[in-house]
Structure 1
Amino acid sequence: MKTLARGLATALLLIAVLASIGWLLMRRPDIPYATLEARYGYADSRYMDLPGGVRAHYRDVGPRGAPAIVLVHGFAASTHAWDGWVEALSRDYRVVMLDLPGHGLTRTSDAYVVRPDSFEATVDGVTRGLGLSRFTLGGNSMGGEVAWTYALDHPDRVERLVLVDAAGWPTPGRSGGMIFKFLANPVGRQVLKEIEIRPLMTQALRSAYVDPKLVTPALIDRYVDLARAPGHRVILLGQRPRRVATAPDLSTIRVPTLVIFGQDDRVIPPADGEKFRKAIPGATLILYPGVGHVPMEQIPERSVADLRAWLAAHPAK
């Protein structure tokens, strides 16, 4: 009996040691901002200090006297999400792309606290800092939620609204890969703050992009590296209270609105696009068969051409 007990204790000790070694091997340290800026910054990258300890990274391209378009990326993404649209839009528009707190190259202080309106406040701070009084506001996924929320709270500043596979409607169970199951669990969120997230990020990206050829090693590297910026994992894996879309709220939006959705979106139900169209008076809906969660990256030429046509048909006032 004593031999059995000793054997069991030894086995448990070995399991604990192996688990500890595995944990240490999977842990990944932060990557300094200087390294990330050198690796993923643009020649025209700019930074703006905002209240609350935010140093926002943004790009501001195109003619300064042209109508402005402000673009907001989705969860765990960055300004890079709009690369496929920038050249075509910046010929006739002033295009501003920004990184939200916890994303891309935007820094936050150790004392930074995420509030329900933190992301909208970043949009407000950057646009006011650039002297933009009215602009077209577009966003993808979580950035789409930021866009329609900002339009509700600042109707005097948004002149057109573009929602690309936008989040906001309540859904019984979120799809999009194992990473979202981890994010829904407090213990899972804590584990993700420490371990190598590449396998989960890869799965999530394949789900979002649909076309596996688009999920390149360079794309995965960028998402994983930027998530390891100092302080990013705490914000990314925190639970920011989110505003839920309702038809009565959205019906108060009175600006021209374009809703774009991929019909094969595995992250947000494509039916949500029709919900936005019905809820926002006069909204236009474009659905792309065979396209997933990021049309501006999966079919950049086609989607930006459709956007430019819509903008021309709904000129800024």
Structure 2
Amino acid sequence: MKRVIGLLAIVGAALTLAGCGITAKDIPYTTLEAKYGGPASHYMDLPGGLHVHYRDQGKADGPTVVLVHGFAASLHTWEPWVARLAPDYRVISLDLPGHGLTRAPDGYTAAQATNVVVVDELTRNLKAETFVIAGNSMGGGVAWAYALAHPERLRGLVLVDAAGWPRETKGNEKPPIVFKLLGNPVGRAFLRNINPRPLAARGLKSAYVDETIVTPALVDRYVELALAPGHRAILTSGRDGPQRRIDKSVFGTIKTPTLVMHGEADTVIDVSAGRGLASAIPGAKLITYPGVGHVPMEQIPDRSVADLKAFLASLPAT
């Protein structure tokens, strides 16, 4: 009965949202590239028909930091960190398939493992032999999975409100409605077609906590990039089959020096997940931020970068 009631609630929410925004057409990549690209933007063709948007900025001969964004976000979310790291570090950021300005072929299915491959191929082609990888949310899941797959290439691992720790429901959690819709096949079907704008402002305000950061320009960026050809299909892909369950013990095998950063007011991934990761990864350092939500790198860039730099300075030289 609970499942039926839950399904009806999801259908009702989806119908309401669809009624508010109806459907939305794709926005051509050329239009999006003109608005959200720029002098720092570059593109790389990778196997499987991927045309990956990335930026390689900062001090060319400095230690390398690779930044991986979260679900439905883009490399733009890292701009506050890039600006503060650039004087001393080489900073590589990228748009994963289904996100930002990266193009993927029809039928592409998003997965953590394929995202790890994208990061690996891109960094190898850019001659970044060793680096520190930092990931936020879904990108945090990609980062720790990369640490498991390619520990020999990493100097450090930074998990920012990272996904992956087995979820423990909290009474005060109010995740954005988009995640509820993604958890159900009916909701996913609606998300593949409806205009994402009715979801965006509400979801972003919940995630960012500080509503002053959620400007019209930020909402436009999330909405318009989600309307890139094929993105809505990819964002809702890979969820209809059996879901992989993470055994907590896997994190105990990570040997890379690790920093875990987590906002204590995060409503998307509870701070208990950050504490769990830090306790499970040998030697990991945990920093939590009172009153901060899901994206510390944007909400408190100065403080979070200062903590990041202290961690980077503590790592052994290459």
Cα displacement string for residues 124-156 of structure 1 (whole angstroms, at most 9, x for unaligned residues): 111011012211000000000000011001111
Aligned to 2:157: 161
Between the aligned partners of 1:48 and 1:59, the Cα distance in structure 2 is: 10
Corresponding position: 1:52 with 2:51: no
Q: Which amino acid aligns with 1:83?
A: E
Given the two structures, how large is their TM-score scaled by the length of structure 2? Answer: 0.89
Cα displacement string for residues 25-68 of structure 1 (whole angstroms, at most 9, x for unaligned residues): 71100000000001111311000000111101000012222111
Q: Which of residues 108, 116, 130 is equivalent to 1:120?
A: 116
8 A Cα contact 1:261 1:293, kept in partner: yes
Aligned to 2:199: 200
Q: Secondary structure at the match of 2:256?
A: coil
Corresponding position: 1:72 with 2:54: no
Q: Which amino acid aligns with 1:230?
A: P
Corresponding position: 1:129 with 2:130: no
Count residues with an aligned counterpart: 297
Between the aligned partners of 2:232 and 2:107, the Cα distance in structure 1 is: 15
Q: Which amino acid aligns with 2:106?
A: D
Given the two structures, how large is their TM-score scaled by the length of structure 1? Answer: 0.89
When residues 179 and 111 of structure 1 are mapped into structure 2, their CA distance, relative to the original with a 3 A threshold, is closer
Between the aligned partners of 1:199 and 1:284, the Cα distance in structure 2 is: 38
- Give the CA deviation at 1:24: 11
- Give the CA deviation at 1:78: 0.3
Q: Which range moves more in the overlay, 238-247 or 41-50?
A: 238-247
Corresponding position: 1:278 with 2:279: yes
Q: Structure 1, unaligned stretches of length 5 or more?
A: 1-18
- Give the CA deviation at 1:242: 6.4
Q: Secondary structure at the match of 1:251?
A: helix
Aligned to 1:190: 189
Q: Which amino acid aligns with 1:199?
A: P
When residues 269 and 237 of structure 1 are mapped into structure 2, their CA distance, relative to the original with a 3 A threshold, is same
Between the aligned partners of 1:239 and 1:261, the Cα distance in structure 2 is: 27
8 A Cα contact 2:56 2:92, kept in partner: yes
Q: Structure 2, unaligned stretches of length 5 or more?
A: 1-14
Kindly name which structure, 1 or 2, has the bigger radius of gyration based on alpha carbons.
Answer: 1
Taking only the aligned residue pairs, the percentage that are identical comes to: 56
When residues 182 and 111 of structure 1 are mapped into structure 2, their CA distance, relative to the original with a 3 A threshold, is closer
Q: Which amino acid aligns with 2:287?
A: I
Corresponding position: 1:311 with 2:312: yes
Q: Which range moves more in the overlay, 296-305 or 234-243?
A: 234-243
Q: Secondary structure at the match of 1:195?
A: coil
Corresponding position: 1:250 with 2:251: yes
Q: Secondary structure at the match of 2:48?
A: coil
8 A Cα contact 1:65 1:94, kept in partner: yes
- Give the CA deviation at 1:246: 3.5
- Give the CA deviation at 1:311: 0.9
Q: Secondary structure at the match of 1:117?
A: helix
1:235-246 to 2 correspondences below 5 Å? 235-240=234-239, 244-246=245-247
Between the aligned partners of 1:291 and 1:61, the Cα distance in structure 2 is: 27
When residues 183 and 290 of structure 1 are mapped into structure 2, their CA distance, relative to the original with a 3 A threshold, is same
- Give the CA deviation at 1:110: 2.0
8 A Cα contact 2:160 2:296, kept in partner: yes
Q: Which range moves more in the overlay, 131-140 or 166-175?
A: 166-175
Between the aligned partners of 1:172 and 1:159, the Cα distance in structure 2 is: 30
- Give the CA deviation at 1:96: 0.1
Corresponding position: 1:145 with 2:123: no
- Give the CA deviation at 1:116: 4.8
Aligned to 2:229: 230
Between the aligned partners of 2:111 and 2:72, the Cα distance in structure 1 is: 17
Between the aligned partners of 1:134 and 1:285, the Cα distance in structure 2 is: 23
